[in-house]
Structure 1
Amino acid sequence: MVTMHDVAAHAGVSASTVSRVFRNEESVSKATRKRVNDAMAALNYVPNMMARTFREGKASLLAIAVPSIADSFFASVIEGADSIAKTHGHAIAVTSLGDDPSRERPIVEALLRRQISSLVLVPIASDQSYLSTWLPHTPVVVIDREATGADVDVFLEDDRGGAIMAVDHLLRLGHQRIAFLGADDAVATTARRFDGYRQAIQDAGLSVEDQPVLFAGPSHIQEGIAGMLGAQDPPTALFSSNARTSVVVVRALQALKARGLAMVSFGDFPMADALDPSVSVIDQDPFRLGQAAAERALNRVADPEGSFENLTVFDVNLIPRGSSTPPSRA
């Protein structure tokens, strides 16, 4: 493993100078800073911040990076991870990645350069190969979406199976026109749920091409649904593929009750059980997901060479509520 002393020798400076460059201290000249940065790049060096943490006796820190801390699903993931971190004597640091894939790497690497013991990540980009440089020093656990180009522990929910469960539920109620609502088909979770939706429709002997499908961001969901309901053969049921979309749907659709539309949301959300009608959901148990990810991350810290199952897929459950109505009640 490349050390700070290796970088110093390569750059022709002292190890303390390398340390000052890494801390971005102004006392280092531009020429020296460039030599050190070039040496770091040539040797593929990243600092062992974990060792520094132990050496300085500072509190351990579990970092968590999610698309949005305002999203109720990810908020529950964070709570679950925090509950485990506390039992291990760790604090947590949380950041939002947003929805721009190009921002994932700089934000994540900014975290990895700090004194963190491990990282729980929900990827938003299509490539996580940049993590390979950091993995020898800092365990990374990915949740909700698989990582590409990085050998990390992954915890997922059964997206495809949950979608099949939701659509089968609506089919058993007698619905033949079931709309699929999704935010972005490029997101892996949405793609898996759409695949499950199509499978259930096909298994019922119906044509997927004849079903109404809408991929739209929150600002266009209302317009898209209005178009569906105004069609000659409108849907009698809605399958919303994520809780964020579901929240927009129930706010926009006063017609949900008036028209007798059935609905199942993939993912529970606040007040879903208190609405009129209350919304049936596929429960993902994000708190459990956060707990499992944090436990694995901290176990990797304690036992870097330990034998663990790299991929874990959790079952999901259907919670039927008031929105599970047959089309005859429309």
Structure 2
Amino acid sequence: MTTMRDVAARARVSAKTVSRVFNDDPHVLPETRARVAEAMRELGYVPTSLSRSFRTGRPPVLGVAVPDLADPFFAVLAKAVEEVAARADMAVLVSSIGYDPALEAAALESLLRRSLSGLVVAPTSQDHGHLGVWAPRLPVVFVDRPPRGLAADAFTGDDCAGGRLATEHLIAHGHRHIAFVGDSPAMSTTAERLAGHRAALADAGLGSGDELVAFCAGDRGSADGVLHRLRSAGAPPTALVSGDARTTMSLVPALAGSTWAVVGFGDFPMAHMLSPALTVVDQDPAGLGRLAAERVVARLAAPDRRFRRHTVLPVRLLERRSCWSPADASTLFPSSSPEPGTGGSPHAAPSLAEEPHP
């Protein structure tokens, strides 16, 4: 294992100077700092955060950066990270970094400067090269979306398979015009889920044109606009795949009174309490968070292991009642009115609304 003394010898400085460089001592000359940093990169030196905590008397701290803790997916993920950290006697610092990719780098830099021992991050940006200066210093593990421009561990769900699974389920129920509504198409998760959706349509010999694909329905106003456009399509959909839980939660009130069948990507609280209960593709956020945190702990125990892995977890369909075959809909809901503009399509599904409280 590379030590601080090895770095000092390569950079032709003392071990104390290496320590001062790592701790951002402003009194180190720029040329000395550059030489030490180059030696760290060449030797793959990663200071042991656990050892530093013993010297300073402070416990190691695991940072968790997610777009929004109000999103049920990320809340469950962060909770799983906290449970693993507690077993490893690590403190946890959780931060919501928002959905604006342009602000992500600054938010992460602010978090990383708080003497973290490791970081679990669910990113939104498309370039993570700025983390290259931190990766040699502490374990950085990506979750939900893989890194771009950086070699790092990652744990993600099988997004393409999930998109395929959702659409195949609707096709099996007799639907032929199926819409897809997702987050930004620049998001790797959205792109992969849309690819799976289109692959399922193609395998069934169905069209997969852009007319029934929409994005950015993250609030009620934009959801209403997206649904209005889809209803105005030449062949309006009778079913819809929602690409993420945030989008689904915006679409649910906008779909009140609709006869479309729906499959959401990502489970969320109360999804089973809707009427009908919502069928979802479950990503297992608790499993993703647990594995990511365990990888940080493992990297801290063996900091000289340089090989990084991307692990893809399987997803599963939680079948509930929001997807109906034409026969089911006409038998169980004979009074359901057709969706405006569908011309009385036989592929009607029961109305999606909140289950009344007893």
Q: Deviations over 1:166-214 (max 9, x none)?
A: 1000000000010000121000000000000110000000111275111
The CA deviation at 1:279 is 0.7
- Say whether 1:147 aligns with 2:147: yes
- SS where residue 271 of structure 2 aligns? coil
- Say whether 1:236 aligns with 2:233: no
- Say whether 1:222 aligns with 2:224: yes
Corresponding position of 2:283 = 284
The CA deviation at 1:49 is 8.3
Corresponding letter in the other structure for 1:216 = C
Moved more, 300-309 or 161-170: 300-309
Q: Is the 8 Å Cα contact of residues 160 and 194 (structure 1) preserved in structure 2?
A: yes
Corresponding position of 2:325 = 326
CA distance in 1, matches of 2:37, 2:217: 40
With over 3 angstroms needed to count, the CA separation of the structure-2 counterparts of 1:323 and 1:110, relative to structure 1, is: same
Corresponding position of 1:212 = 212
Corresponding letter in the other structure for 2:189 = T
Corresponding position of 1:26 = none
- Using structure 2 for the length normalisation, give the TM-score: 0.79
Q: Deviations over 1:73-92 (max 9, x none)?
A: 00010011111111111111
- Unaligned 5+ residue runs, structure 2? 41-45, 330-347, 349-358
- Using structure 1 for the length normalisation, give the TM-score: 0.85
Corresponding letter in the other structure for 1:68 = D
Corresponding position of 1:27 = none
With over 3 angstroms needed to count, the CA separation of the structure-2 counterparts of 1:3 and 1:112, relative to structure 1, is: farther
What are the within-5 Å matches in structure 2 for residues 98-117 of structure 1? 98-117=98-117
- SS where residue 176 of structure 2 aligns? coil
- SS where residue 142 of structure 2 aligns? strand
CA distance in 2, matches of 1:243, 1:76: 13
With over 3 angstroms needed to count, the CA separation of the structure-2 counterparts of 1:210 and 1:182, relative to structure 1, is: closer
Alignment size in residue pairs? 314
The CA deviation at 1:252 is 1.4
What are the within-5 Å matches in structure 2 for residues 1-330 of structure 1? 22=24, 36=29, 40=33, 43-44=36-37, 50=49, 51-209=51-209, 212-219=212-219, 220-256=222-258, 260-306=259-305, 310-328=309-327, 329=329, 330=348
Corresponding letter in the other structure for 1:201 = L
- SS where residue 273 of structure 1 aligns? helix
Corresponding letter in the other structure for 2:117 = S
The CA deviation at 1:154 is 0.8
Q: Is the 8 Å Cα contact of residues 146 and 310 (structure 2) preserved in structure 1?
A: no
- Unaligned 5+ residue runs, structure 1? 24-32
CA distance in 1, matches of 2:27, 2:195: 50
- SS where residue 208 of structure 1 aligns? coil
- SS where residue 255 of structure 1 aligns? coil
CA distance in 1, matches of 2:246, 2:274: 16
CA distance in 1, matches of 2:136, 2:307: 16
Q: Deviations over 1:142-166 (max 9, x none)?
A: 1111111211111010000011111
Q: Deviations over 1:97-142 (max 9, x none)?
A: 1122222222222222222211101122211122222222201111
Moved more, 135-144 or 49-58: 49-58
The CA deviation at 1:310 is 0.7
Q: Is the 8 Å Cα contact of residues 53 and 115 (structure 1) preserved in structure 2?
A: no
Q: Is the 8 Å Cα contact of residues 262 and 327 (structure 1) preserved in structure 2?
A: no
CA distance in 1, matches of 2:79, 2:252: 26
CA distance in 1, matches of 2:144, 2:266: 12
Corresponding letter in the other structure for 1:218 = G
Q: Deviations over 1:268-322 (max 9, x none)?
A: 1111000111110001110111000000111100112348771111000001111
Identity in percent: 38
The CA deviation at 1:326 is 1.8
CA distance in 2, matches of 1:211, 1:178: 10
The CA deviation at 1:22 is 4.1
CA distance in 1, matches of 2:210, 2:293: 43
Q: Is the 8 Å Cα contact of residues 211 and 230 (structure 2) preserved in structure 1?
A: no
